[in-house]
Amino acid sequence: KRLGDTRAEVLRAVRAEPLESPPGAVARYSDLGFILLGATVDQALGETLDAAFARRIAQPLGIATGFGPRDPSMCAPTEGELRGVVHDENARAMGGVAGHAGLFSTAREVSRIVHALVAAWHGVRSTSTPRLLPSARVRQLWTPSGVPGSTWCLGWDRPSATGSSAGTRWPKDGVGHLGFTGCSIWIDPPRARWVVLLSNRVHPTRANEAIKQFRPAIHDAIVSALDA
C-alpha cells in the first residue's frame, strides 16, 4: 500500500473508535486523542505537522529537532533492530509523522524548547529565546483541566499524590510528560527549573521496567542537590 493510504486508514480507524465516556467526564491518556490533534493541526494550518513544527518551533529556536533524524546512525537504538525509526507502531504506519510520536531530538535541544516555554510562562521576552506561544496560552496548557479526580492539564500532567515519576520532592504544581521509550520532562515553572531525561529503556526489549524506579530516584536526587 501507499503511505498515504495507510495514514488515511489509521485516521479513519481512530475517528471510528467509540467514546468510553462523555467528553469532560473522565481524563484518560490516549494516543488516539493526540493522533486526531495532529490531524487537526494539519487542517487548521494548511500544512503538514512536520512542516509546521519546523517552521514554528525548530527554525526560531535554531535546533535540528524534527520528525525523523538527519543522521539515523547517531540515534540510540530502541526495541529490536530499530534505530533512527520511530518506535511507536501507529506513528510508523503513518510515515513517522503523527501527533503522538515521531520527534527525534537531543536532551540539549529539548531543554531549549522547555526554556522557551518557561520564559513565556513568566512573560519574559528575550532576543536569545524566541517566543513560541503567548504567556496566557502556556499558562492555560499548564493549568489543571478541571476534570474530577484528574491531575492532567492540556497535554501535560502534574505529579500524582503517590508514586509519581517526578519523585517525592517535585512541587505539586509542576508539569511533565513521559515517553514510552524512556523519555520524560518534568518542569517546575515558578522556579524556572526542569529535568529532561532521554533514555532507551526498551532496548533490547520493552520487558525492562527499571525506569519506574530510576525516574523518581533521579528527580529526587536532582531536587535535593539544587535545594542544597
DSSP characters for 87-150?
S-HHHHHTTS--SSS-EE--HHHHHHHHHHHHHHHTT--BTTB---S-HHHHHHHTS----TT-
d(CA 88, CA 91): 5
**Beta pairing class for 175-178 and 193-197:** unpaired
Q: 81: Cβ–Cβ under 8 A, 6 or more apart, which residues? A: none
pLDDT at 125: 83
pLDDT at 126: 78
DSSP 3-state of 8: helix
pLDDT at 18: 94
- Copy the grid coordinates of residue 83: 534505530
- Copy the grid coordinates of residue 40: 487537526
pLDDT at 1: 55
pLDDT at 119: 96
DSSP 3-state of 67: strand
What pTM does this model have?
A: 0.93
Residues of the chain with pLDDT under 70: 1-4
Q: What is the residue type of 148?
A: P
- Copy the grid coordinates of residue 180: 514510552
